[in-house]
Chain A
Amino acid sequence: MKRRILQGLAAATAGALLLGACSSGGGDAAAAAETLDPDAPVTLTVSVWNLEGTPEFRALFDAYEAAHPNVTIEPVDILADDYPTKLTAMMAGGDTTDVLTMKSVMDYSKFATAGQLADVTDVVEGVPDLAGLDAYDQDGAYYAVPYRQDFWVTFYNKGIFDAVGEEYPSSDLTWDEYVDLAETITEKAAAAGVTPAEGSTTYGTHTHTWRSVVDAIAAAQTGGDQLGSEGYGFLEPYYEHALQLQDAGATLDYSTASTQKISYRTMFTTGQAAMLPMGTWFISALLQAEAAGETDVEWGIAPMPQEKATDEAVTFGAPTAFAVNKNAENVAAARDFAAFAAGEEGARAVAAIGVVPALQSDAITEAYFALEGMPTDEVSQAAFQPGEIVLEMPVGPTTAQVEQILTEEHQNIMTGAVPLDEALATMAERVENEVG
């Protein structure tokens, strides 16, 4: 009896929610049938985050509109911080925005498995050499086209290296060497009185507070599974390095960095950190800051440190992609835009502002290094072409839950609240017991 009442209530609610959610279904069949009339005026809506602060969108839109005079792109500007929240609400309400930018692979997976995105497998097949494509593979079908692929490198401040008389990082730096180097620079800078400003310290490196800084690089270089299928022992040496740097005072401690919301950008551009492992998006940020006269830091990039010296550096990264809304009003134009953004012309447009495109070709790499302010030395070139880029976090139905657990234990380890081996054991235990 009670069950029946509950069932009735649930069904009523479901009915109410459904009315709006699924009323408009453009569907893939319609997409295939619709052809693109090159002259008919189209207003294409594209969801983006932080339009003013993310110049790649404007660059892509301008390039596309120049090539397709009949199309007007209308960006749906959403704040960067809560982009997934708003997108979820919009999709739940049956929104008809044509193109949806997938900020993270995890969001993509959520929307794709829920059937909210149109199949774009044929678009993907039309663009060769797309990096990071594997992340979007859903049982052989693709529901988004990557146009950008960020990966991690080590940034370094040439001025500090020169001041303390150390050589710039080589292209085959190991983790042990990296830790030593950071400690040496910290000591030498303190001894020589090299400080960016009164009262502040020059650290050898800056370990940012994100979990990926330790976990994702460990998984990439050891082949460990962050979803925990074989425990988390593979993280141990990487956490040991991170803790050693912190204990030696060669990086700003985690507690301070996280509670004071310390910006890695500030640490690097104001000369408070000689090195900084960070994603390639920081390149475009640095180039822009230089162009605007906000910083005059002399910088270079080197590959991420490795377990053993190698020419084929392994790093991690994450792509960004455009998807076509299942309920899109202009399906054909939306698909055409996604193809354009991922292709040669789109890649040129984003590379021109220092963003790393997903499309890989020598011509584009060359154009990229020709940018004003870009370091052109061999090590920087090597860093830009790593041997392998592993996806930051494997995508599956349990990813979000595992991510949360790893983040919590990361805090416990880095604040020193829980000893490393205990925290790693807890990680494995919690993933085993709580995720499902």
Chain B
Amino acid sequence: MATTTAARPAPAPRRPTYVNRRQVRRNTLLGWTFILPNFAGFALLTLVPVVATFGLAFTRWNAFGTPEFTGLTNLQRLVGDENFRVALGNTVYYTVGHVPLTMAASLGLALALNRKIRGLAFFRTAAFFPYITSIVAVAVVWNMLYNPTRGPINQLLTTIGISDPPGWTSDPTWAMPAVILTGVWKDMGYYMILFLAGLQTIPPELYEAAKTDGANAWQRFRNVTLPCLRPTTFFVLIMLTIGSFKVFDLIVVMTNGGPGRSTLVLSQLIYREGIVNGQFGYSSAVALALFVLVLVITLLQYARNQRLEK
């Protein structure tokens, strides 16, 4: 395993020798050759508009005509904007709840469905189904389960003696937990797929060796599965974090940000300020803020991962 045994090539020295420089040039050329087919498309169609969007964050623009440079006005407005503050808080709330729960649930599913059992294909398909079920159906059925008076969840809670069960999606306090729960339910099959692929990289010999050494199931999980799975875990963690910060569709159909602003998230704010209100400069500023926030978190996770890999 690269993570455990590989002696990584030393990092390129600051002042390369003549031979090294040739090597570096050769590698750079080779590296870019591999990267280019994807990078060309990516740079032109994603990077350019994204950079343009960041530029727009310092302008006033209604999507038509010339953007008018306004300096830091949009960012100043951001600081004092109550909607931004609320949306930021809600987005962080959603992420903090959604990431660890989805991580645990999807890894659990992947482990449970990585064995040779009868009906494996069926169970895997069932686990993936929430992700491909029409989001309208998901919203309607979950909202039905959450219904404060008629819903089975609250009927159950009342039966077991909770006299004042929460109003879930109709209650500002409980709407976010309800949406998080549905989000976990919907996304876990998706990330399960990624974990399943990652689990296949672990050589069965390692498990055999661990068994011979007398490791129990938990120890094998701790000492073989988790370390070998680290590249996948890192990937899932990053994608899940970014995905949670960008959550949009689920919120729109479940609560549309309500009741009040209790589930309003940043992506929604970006959409409203831009497409609905026609203030693309300001909406770009919100996007920029979201980007910087996610970037910092990603860098922290990246640095931690680099440290662990060494």
Contact = CB atoms under 8 A, between A and B. Distances in A.
Contacts of A260: 140, 143-144, 147
Contact of B52 (A16, A85, A255): A16
A408 B260 contact: yes
Nearest to B280: A92
B63 A92 contact: yes
Contact of B69 (A11, A88, A408, A433): A11
B92 to A, nearest CB: 20
A401 interface: yes
B248 to A, nearest CB: 13
B278 interface: yes
Nearest to A7: B69
A260 to B, nearest CB: 6
Interface stretch (A49-57, A173-181, A411-419): A411-419
Given A259-B146, A400-B276, A433-B82, A12 B55 contact: yes
Contacts of B94: none
**Chain A interface mostly:** helix
A343 B242 CA distance: 53
A251 to B, nearest CB: 15
Given A259-B169, A261-B140, 6 more contacts: A14-B67, A16-B52, A114-B65, A259-B139, A415-B170, A434-B82
B99 interface: no
Nearest to A93: B63
23 contacts: A6-B72, A7-B58, A10-B56, A14-B61, A17-B67, A21-B65, A84-B275, A88-B63, A91-B63, A110-B278, A114-B278, A255-B148, A255-B169, A256-B150, A258-B258, A260-B147, A261-B139, A408-B264, A411-B258, A412-B172, A417-B259, A433-B82, A434-B83
Interface string A383-421: 000000000000000001100100011011001011000
Interface in B262-291: 264, 272, 275-278
A260 B257 CA distance: 15
B290 to A, nearest CB: 19
A116 B64 CA distance: 8
B282 to A, nearest CB: 11
A259 B170 contact: yes
Interface in B48-70: 51-52, 54-56, 58-59, 61-67, 69
Given A408-B261, A415-B259, A417-B260, A430 B172 contact: no
Nearest to B264: A408
Contact of A412 (B259, B272, B278): B259
Interface residues of A, number: 42
A13 B258 contact: no
A115 B259 contact: no
A18 interface: yes
Contacts of A415: 167, 170-171, 258-259
B22 to A, nearest CB: 36
B275 A401 contact: no
Interface string A66-99: 0000000000000000001100100110000000
Contacts of A433: 82
Interface of A: 3, 6-7, 9-14, 16-18, 21-22, 84-85, 88, 91-92, 110, 114-116, 255-256, 258-261, 400-401, 404, 408-409, 411-412, 415, 417-418, 430, 433-434
B205 interface: no
B108 interface: no
A114 B255 CA distance: 32
A434 B82 CA distance: 7
Closest 4 CB pairs of A and B: A13-B55, A255-B170, A259-B143, A92-B63
Interface in B217-260: 254-255, 257-260
Nearest to A9: B55
B16 interface: no
Contacts of B136: 261
B213 interface: no
Contact of A401 (B62, B261, B277): B277
- Greatest chain B CB density within 10 A among A6, A13, A259, A408 is at A259
B71 interface: yes
A278 B293 CA distance: 45
A185 B248 CA distance: 42
A10 B55 CA distance: 5
A14 B146 contact: no
A88 B275 contact: yes
A261 B254 CA distance: 10
B81 interface: yes
Nearest to B169: A259
